[in-house]
Structure 1
Amino acid sequence: MLGVTVWGLALGQALLITGNILLVSVTALIGQKLAPSLSLATLPIATQFLGLMGITLPAALMMRALGRKKGFFIGNLVGIIGATIAFYALKSENFVLFCFATLLLGMAIGVGQQYRFAAIENAPNDKTPQAISLIMGAGVIAAILGPNMAIWAEFMVPDTQYLGAFAALLVLYIFTTLLILVLPLRQPTHEEQTGTPRSYKTLLKQPNLVAAITSGVIGYAVMTLVMTATPLAMHGHGFHFGHTATVIQWHVLGMFAPSFFTGKLIQKYGTTKIIQSGCLLLLTCVILNQFGSGYWYFWTALIFLGIGWNFTFIGATTLLTKTYEPADKAKVQGLNDFLVFTGATIGSVLAGYWQNVFGWEVLNILMIPFIVAAMLSVWVSARKQLSI
């Protein structure tokens, strides 16, 4: 059985992702409104991922030194500050300040990525896939709340479109901070805090670690790039914000709803097959986007994109847990998240530029070589593991 701590962390994850999806729903459109050039429309999303990427390794080391409770408290405090600054920046139509705010929000989200690792620590050893699945499955709540909060808050403040979204985001971070303060989180062990971790060179000789990082990086980067470009593509085809928010909502359901059974699929079929299946679903998404630009094409493709990401990300995270000793934990988790969110940052930076330069169909075609590379890497690494 998964205890109250894991369920509490799942709620924290749900609130975190709700805020993140709310940001995804409005940030590119705000950027399009405030940016001096359309090619910079997704820069606020890029700075969000830059903050996320930059904080991942420090966050892992902070958790090792201070423990999960203090680490999550600091992360949520940064989120409160970021949401407050974003509110002011949008009200004053300050693009540079808005980018700084999303940088801080990205840092808060980066610290929150440790929820899944905290859940693993607070679950029985034989329940690791289920703990990860529960944490990720909490995103179903976010899929319902996030886009609907964005729609509800769009004109909550009559004079400034989307301003209410950041008031709602501030409330989410305050509530999550209070939740973290009451959860009984496990403290780091003596071995985790004082043990000597292996070098990166030694760690990366493990085929499983190479497979986990490679599939995690490419799966997240492809998902982020296509997802970030979607509101711009739909806007360009004449869809209103409600249509875009609904597509994003169903995409997020695709990202997180399968989590309730992904853990069981991994236990039955193994991580390699689930990751490979996820890659095939990502390919289905980009191929489907070649056939039309109607609402149902966007809707269906984004669901496939979400499920494909779910399989690759949960599979990669499960595989990662098999690659480190207690002393290596912070180092491996930090390295993995740094590389994964570096890929996501690159994807968010390229999304607006590629959408403007190449268009929606070509942007999707450009994803195919990366997805194939991920499949080959996982297959080769699995073969090497079998031969050891």
Structure 2
Amino acid sequence: MTNTTPAALASIPDAAQAQRRILRVLVASQVLSGAGLAAGVTVGALLAQDMLGSTSLAGLPSALFTAGSALAAVTVGRISQARGRRPGLATGYLTGALGSAGVITAAVLGNPVLLFLALFVYGAGTATNLQARYAGADLAPAGHRARAVSTVLVATTLGGVAGPNLAAPAGTLAEHLGIPHLAGLFVISGAAYALAALVLLLWLRPDPLLLARTVAQAKEADAATDPAAADAADSSRSRGGVVLGALVMVLTQLVMVAIMTMTPVHMHDHGHSTAASGLVIGIHIGAMYLPSPLTGWLVDRYGRMKITAASGITLLAAGVLAAAAPGDSVALLALALALLGLGWNVGLVAGTAIITDTVPLATRAKTQGLVDVSIALAGATGGITSGIMVAVTSYPALALTGGALSLALLPAVAATAYRR
């Protein structure tokens, strides 16, 4: 039974003021974690290719750290549900830092088995980076949730764009330290994830999820509502929202990871340098996060369904352009990867808003963690099959297939609109 006496209500922090502080702290941690997640995307496939001498398994690193993020999503979600966002997110980032250290060790020893195990652990950082977006929406009013999610996502841009472009200098530093060139970015990754965890542990107070629960319980008791009836309505509404939101994010993740994973390998095979592929991936990651404020405004202003449809169309355009771009054209590949990132961003913000709108606070973090498992598994599938598909067919065939798959979002939107 919640204590809602005037004294108890007065002791509850002001939600709007707390939200502003929470967003500032989340922004700081996301800037750091953005640099952390870039390492695996930029050089993970190249590191595996170098160790194994084969392109067919170049997609395996992406699949492994994405699969690792699936396990981490469950763990972070459960810790957040039980103890709050602060311990959940900090645990995830520290695990990602540990994985980065493992990758460096594997590179020094030339041990591919250890590399794959470490990449699996490293995936916790990716999962946590995505889970942080939910923390931004916990205290946001219903009409501003997509914008709150977007504020957290856009903060990843600075680190995410800078990270890949540090590939060349980080490699030089690594060689001075006696570490293989390609493992240099993981030195930056480990430090970035550890610092992100420290920021959250020190300053993410009050905890957004715990405060949101307290505020909701106080309002419920004060209004003398019928909790059983409200829970029944929430449960019915929640199921449809979870399925739709998850479908949107699963499809966008599958398409994005598949094409993104093999682009550095495709560029390497056409004689481009690590710096060139780092630039393209940096542009891609920038497009994944930089448009977030506009995306959030569009989702809140025009609705979840219309913007979801726009995501499918954008991903289709990305796939067609990536397939048509000549292998020696860095500019066209960069544009294709920018569209790929934009389509992912639009789908992620819309899908997250759908789920946050419909899942009750009592089960929110746990459900969000489970949804992110589906997203991670979709990414793992895209990562591991992309290398095999390119080895059997070609990079253009992979890009066209991904673009075609993204069109599945359109009937999902149409079916939802019909049911309404």
Given candidates 270, 274, 296, the residue that maps to 1:241 is 274
Give the conservation status (yes or no) of the 8 Å contact 2:37–2:125: no
Aligned to 2:220: none
Identify which range, 352-361 or 290-299, moves more after superposition.
290-299
Given candidates 185, 188, 192, the residue that maps to 1:172 is 192
Q: How many residues align?
A: 381
Whole-Å separation in 2 of the counterparts to 1:78 and 1:28: 21
Identify which range, 8-17 or 205-214, moves more after superposition.
205-214
Q: Does 1:208 align with 2:226?
A: no
Paired letter, 1:161: H
| 1:165 Cα offset (Å) | 1.8
Whole-Å separation in 1 of the counterparts to 2:92 and 2:300: 33
Whole-Å separation in 2 of the counterparts to 1:352 and 1:219: 18
Aligned to 1:268: 301
Whole-Å separation in 2 of the counterparts to 1:33 and 1:363: 22
Whole-Å separation in 2 of the counterparts to 1:351 and 1:174: 31
Are the structure 2 counterparts of residues 150 and 205 from structure 1 closer, same or farther at C-alpha, using a change threshold of 3 Å?
A: same
Are the structure 2 counterparts of residues 96 and 322 from structure 1 closer, same or farther at C-alpha, using a change threshold of 3 Å?
A: same
| 1:90 Cα offset (Å) | 0.7
Taking structure 1 as the reference length, the TM-score comes to: 0.92
Secondary structure, counterpart of 2:100 in structure 1: helix
Give the conservation status (yes or no) of the 8 Å contact 2:252–2:347: yes
Whole-Å separation in 2 of the counterparts to 1:274 and 1:151: 37
Give the conservation status (yes or no) of the 8 Å contact 1:155–1:163: no
Taking structure 2 as the reference length, the TM-score comes to: 0.85
Identify which range, 255-264 or 79-88, moves more after superposition.
79-88
Whole-Å separation in 2 of the counterparts to 1:106 and 1:215: 21
Q: Write the mapping of 1:335-374 to structure 2, written as runs, cut at 5 A.
A: 335-374=370-409
Whole-Å separation in 2 of the counterparts to 1:66 and 1:235: 45
Q: Does 1:299 align with 2:334?
A: yes
Given candidates 263, 274, 285, the residue that maps to 1:230 is 263
Paired letter, 2:268: H
Identity of aligned residues (%): 27
Aligned to 1:78: 95
Give the conservation status (yes or no) of the 8 Å contact 2:171–2:184: yes
Secondary structure, counterpart of 2:166 in structure 1: helix
Give the conservation status (yes or no) of the 8 Å contact 1:215–1:378: no
| 1:205 Cα offset (Å) | 7.8
| 1:360 Cα offset (Å) | 1.1
> Structure 2: which 5+ runs fail to align?
1-15, 218-226
> Structure 1: which 5+ runs fail to align?
none
Aligned to 2:287: 254
| 1:143 Cα offset (Å) | 3.4
Aligned to 1:379: 414
| 1:314 Cα offset (Å) | 0.5
| 1:25 Cα offset (Å) | 0.7
Are the structure 2 counterparts of residues 43 and 4 from structure 1 closer, same or farther at C-alpha, using a change threshold of 3 Å?
A: same
**Larger-Rg structure:** 2
Secondary structure, counterpart of 1:157 in structure 2: helix
Paired letter, 2:288: M
Secondary structure, counterpart of 2:64 in structure 1: helix
Aligned to 1:186: 208
Deviation sequence 1:160-219 (CA, Å, 0-9, x none) = 212322221221122112201222123533789xx99989xx669844332211111001
| 1:383 Cα offset (Å) | 2.1
Identify which range, 207-216 or 346-355, moves more after superposition.
207-216
Secondary structure, counterpart of 1:38 in structure 2: coil
Paired letter, 2:208: R
Give the conservation status (yes or no) of the 8 Å contact 2:321–2:336: yes
Whole-Å separation in 2 of the counterparts to 1:313 and 1:186: 21
Whole-Å separation in 1 of the counterparts to 2:301 and 2:377: 31
Identify which range, 234-243 or 76-85, moves more after superposition.
76-85
Aligned to 1:147: 164
